[in-house]
Structure 1
Amino acid sequence: MAGFGDYTGYNRPFGLDPNRETNDLYDTRYQQIYGYHTPVTEEYQGPPLVMDDIPEEESNTFVTTSISVASLITENLLSHPFIVLRRQCQVNRSLKNYHIVPYTLLPVVVKLHRRQELTTLWKGIGSTCIVRGLNLAVEDLISKGTGWPKEIGKCNSVLQFLQHITLKCISLAIITPFYSASLVETVQSDIASDKPALLDVFREGFVRILEWGTPSKGRMLPIWAIVLPTAGLGISKYLAHLLLRKISIKALRFQQRHRHELSDSYNSNYPKNTQNPLIEDINLKANIFSFITMEILFYPIETIVHRLHIQGTRTIIDNLDTGTSVTPILTGYEGFMDCYNTTIAKEGVSGLYKGFGALVLQLAAHLAIIKLTTIVVSEVSNLLKPANTPTNSEGSVHSQQKYLFN
């Protein structure tokens, strides 16, 4: 008996004409479905052969979009309690328990909730959102006034890239006073300070701008001494995010291509410029990886910058050694390098990582929410699929054969 590639006599599949190009098409699909290898004489230029790919791609897009929204909400809202904890640890020079590991923070959080209200870890969330919105507004205003690209994807030359980076630096410098006011609201204790109004961040920010030179409040640093390290930290994190994201995308694409080459359905004639249906999933994974790596790498620098912002503001914060008392912030740093050297000398290198356990909890919660969203959305999308859509490999084979024979 001749093989499946022989289209003579009764071995020819039913419904195929020996003079039609469909034979070559069938040969290609039979190879992909059953693993049978026969030479392909022509490359098929018609519509996609696997009809189930369209709803599958729509399902993948729905899942990826849902995960992106969940990640955005988590990063800007649900992560705020962990941000409050880590900032309170970062600015507290006298903190004895550095809370570098997550489990040391858990009993402190329980005591904070018992002594204060349940909203104690959500303080300053209004001003934080205002500052982020203000940053976007300033970038948009500068972009419209100068014509500089606001998004990295619109940079088509080195000059446009430099203009884009300059736009980011100017925006960070402008919002620095308001970021400083927002930082104070997120770390100050509710039981030792009056709760600020929603728009107090603007009033305090403009006060810092007016005191551009030597401030009138004790050891508070002038705003010009804080602008450079703040803008430097922000732009460094942004550039690191772009670099890490690009490396991650290349690694994930290489991994996906390698898996495709090892699969039974690999076709060497498949056009390489075909759009990858999982490209959004790759971009999402790359963004998450770059965000996590960026937060870990720049944590020590963030500690120093936050200490410079809080100095001289007469802020009283919760004592995270006990969770039942408060402590004032009393520092006298002269600048970025003096803060760095003093921290290393008096607190050690680990002093730069105070509150790192809160960052670990934040990233763990972020990943957990994304994983939960993936499971829930995937199950919902499966339930919403049409009943006649085949979900197993056998049904997919039958649908492919039906498409080929008609």
Structure 2
Amino acid sequence: MAGFGEYSSYNRPYGLDPNREPNDLYDTRYQQIYGYHTPITEEFQGPPLVMDDIPDEENNTYVTTAISVASLITENLLSHPFIVLRRQCQVHNSLKSYHIFPYTLLPVVVRLHRRQDVTTLWKGIGSTCIVRGLNLAVEDVVAKGTGWPKEIGKCSSVLQFLQHITLKCVSLAIITPFYSASLVETVQSDIASDKPALFDVFREGFVRLLEWGTPSRGRMLPIWAIVFPTVALGISKYIAHITLKSITMRILRFQQRHRHELSDAYSSSSSYSKNSQNPLIEDLNLKANIFSFITMEILFYPVETIIHRLHIQGTRTIIDNLDTGTSVTPILTGYEGFIDCYNTTIAREGVAGLYKGFGALVLQLAAHLAIIKLTTLVVTEVSNLLKPAKSPTTSDDSIHSQQKYLFN
């Protein structure tokens, strides 16, 4: 526009019409109010506005970091008792109480703690962590040996993406025997079997790996018959997770951008830069990751039930009877594979049989969200208390009154 210069929404007062022709009266009143003179023909530099919509970056960084750490600890440690419950329900084909709703599990948990010690729901925690660490180690070794990208963010072409997916498949296939051994430790009853040593998961895993096609125990399925469905489940969850996370991230960024545009406080060059280290981007990325994780756990729960039954078959495992919480029961099944397990489960237990122990998953996700919410509140309050007091700024009412005087 002629004679007025370009300026952004950050540096012009509320109500200023960019098409308004400059005049001496405006220039004089602006000088009287703000104490300096800005030529109309130059870039307009108005008073700094107080933008409450944009969170403090340092505070946001603390909160995001704390939530990430709390989410990691919850997912790998604090969720383990709920994982034990859901897995015991999943592999128990004769369970009468399906425990699809959380409240049915509460009296059973009370009886388990009365009959056994407080560690009854923490069995297998060591082997579970070992398997997760082993998965990361295998991925790292394969990535260094092949040059395939270990992280999805480093994939810049379709070929690299396929290499990344292949790396994930190889890693899942290698750790499947050890995952099977860890699953047994997680579901077996403490009062009906000896407690395994910390590194027994390696011994049992190598035994199953050596018995690749001819298992030595009864109805145990050969490990090659379990590897394919296990890898298929893992890679399907991973691809669905990154896809849903990407879609959710786009939606959240669009909503956030729209809110800031409506409040006239949006700047694509600052708050919404594509820099992954930006606190706002990290916050949205964390929300998208949590939402995707919850969705994947719910969607793939029936498939996980079938695969866990295949892993546990023939291992002579005795689990706690979650119908009563006071007795134990052996797992006796004779599935021939994934399809047979699915058909048998539907025929004998109905569709609801695929969701046995779903109430434990609900409790797990509710606890996860509660911990994240509590962490957010605590870190926010602490950071606000430790934050130095800011110098007094012009209030919104004062700014509006000055502008009213300015343009009258």
Shorter-normalised TM range: 0.7 to 0.9
Structure 2 counterparts to residues 138-287 of structure 1, below 5 A: 138-265=138-265, 273=273, 277-287=279-289
SS of the aligned residue for 2:45 comes to helix
When residues 273 and 202 of structure 1 are mapped into structure 2, their CA distance, relative to the original with a 3 A threshold, is closer
Tell me whether 199-208 or 16-25 shows the greater mean CA deviation. 16-25
Q: In the alignment, residue 257 of structure 1 is paired with which amino acid?
A: R
Contact preservation (8 Å) 1:52, 1:389 = no
SS at 1:25 equivalent: coil
TM-score, reference length from structure 1: 0.87
Native 8 Å contact 2:64 2:279 kept in 1: no
- Which residue number in structure 1 is paired with residue 126 of structure 2? 126
User: Match of 2:65, as an amino acid?
Assistant: T
Tell me whether 17-26 or 189-198 shows the greater mean CA deviation: 17-26
Q: Secondary structure at the match of 1:327?
A: strand
Q: Which runs of 5+ in 1 are unaligned?
A: 34-49, 402-406
Which residue does 1:136 correspond to in 2? 136
CA distance in 2: counterparts of 1:268 and 1:140, whole angstroms: 37
Q: Secondary structure at the match of 1:71?
A: helix
Query: Which one is further off, 276-285 or 129-138?
Result: 276-285
Counterparts in 2 of 1:298-337, with a 5 A limit?
A: 298-337=300-339
The equivalent of 1:370 in structure 2 is: 372
Q: Cα offset for 1:14?
A: 3.9
CA distance in 2, matches of 1:314, 1:57: 55
Between the aligned partners of 2:204 and 2:128, the Cα distance in structure 1 is 14
In the aligned structure 1, how far is the partner of 2:267 from the partner of 2:205? 61
CA distance in 1, matches of 2:355, 2:52: 53
1:384 Cα deviation after fit: 0.7
Distance in 1 separating the partners of 2:394 and 2:35: 23
Supply the distance in 2 between the matched residues of 1:126 and 1:393 (Cα, whole angstroms): 57
Q: Secondary structure at the match of 1:7?
A: helix
> Which SS does the other structure have where 1:169 is aligned?
helix
1:123 Cα offset (Å):
0.2
Distance 1:282 1:324, change over 3 A: same
- Kept after mapping to 2: 8 A contact 1:16/1:23: no
1:100 aligns to what?
100
| Shift in Å, 1:7 | 3.4
Paired residue for 1:77? 77
- With normalisation by structure 2, the TM-score equals 0.86
Q: Is the 1:115–1:324 Cα contact (8 Å) retained in structure 2?
A: yes
Deviation per residue, 1:357-406 (Å, 9 max, x gap):
0000000000000000000000000011003356x9839989xx9xxxxx
Choose from 351, 354, 357 the match for 1:355.
357
Maintained 8 Å contact 2:71/2:368: yes
Alignment RMSD: 2.6
Q: Which amino acid aligns with 2:371?
A: I
Displacement, 1:317?
Answer: 0.0
Mapped contact 2:257–2:266 kept (Cα < 8 A): no
What percent identity do the matched residue pairs reach?
A: 77
Instruction: Give the counterpart letter for 1:9 in structure 2.
Output: T
- CA gap of 1:18–1:187, structure 2 versus 1, over 3 A, is closer
Q: What is the identity, as a one-letter code, of the residue corresponding to 2:299?
A: L
Contact 1:183 1:310 in 2 (8 A): yes
111 and 15 in structure 1: CA distance in 2 versus 1, 3 angstrom threshold: same
Aligned residue type for 1:302:
E
Q: How far apart, CA to CA, are the structure 1 residues paired with 2:100 and 2:214?
A: 35
Tell me which residue corresponds to 2:26. 7
- Aligned with 2:189: secondary structure? coil
Counterpart-to-counterpart distance in 2, 1:233 and 1:341: 18
Return the match for 2:298 from 286, 296, 299. Answer: 296
- Partner AA of 1:196 in structure 2: P
| Contact map agreement 1:143 1:150 (CA 8 A) in 2 | yes
Shift of 1:16: 1.6
The CA deviation string for residues 76-97 of structure 1, in whole angstroms up to 9 with x for no partner, is: 0000000000000000000000
Moved more, 342-351 or 264-273: 264-273
CA contact 2:38–2:45 (8 Å) conserved in 1: no
Letter in 2 for 1:24: F
1:71 Cα deviation from its structure 2 partner: 0.2
1:15 aligned partner, one-letter code: G
Distance 2:35 2:191 in 1: 82
Are residues 142 and 23 of structure 1, via their aligned partners in 2, closer, same or farther at CA, if it must alter by over 3 Å? closer
> Against the structure 1 CA distance between its residues 20 and 295, is the aligned structure 2 distance closer, same or farther, given a 3 Å change threshold?
same
CA distance in 2: counterparts of 1:246 and 1:123, whole angstroms: 35
Q: Take 2:169 and 2:193, find their aligned partners in 1: how far apart are those partners?
A: 33
Quick check: 1:7–1:18 contact (8 Å CA) kept in 2? no
Q: Distance in 2 between matches of 1:21 and 1:130?
A: 68
CA gap of 1:362–1:298, structure 2 versus 1, over 3 A, is same
Following the alignment from structure 1 to structure 2, what is the Cα–Cα distance between the partners of residues 310 and 381?
Answer: 48
Aligned-partner Cα distance in 2 for 1:144–1:396: 61
SS in 2 for 1:24: coil
Structure 2 stretches lacking a partner, 5+ long: 1-14, 17-21, 403-408
Against the structure 1 CA distance between its residues 268 and 200, is the aligned structure 2 distance closer, same or farther, given a 3 Å change threshold?
closer
CA deviation profile, 1:38-70 (whole Å, cap 9, x unmatched): xxxxxxxxxxxx8997x9101101100000000
Deviates more, 1:287-296 or 1:271-280: 271-280
Tell me whether 1:25 sits opposite 2:45 in the alignment: yes
Distance 1:78 1:22 in 2: 60
Report the Cα distance in structure 2 between the residues aligned to 1:328 and 1:266, rounded to whole angstroms.
Answer: 62
* Cα drift, residue 173 of structure 1: 0.2
Q: By how many angstroms is 1:268 displaced?
A: 9.4
Residue in 1 aligned with 2:112?
112
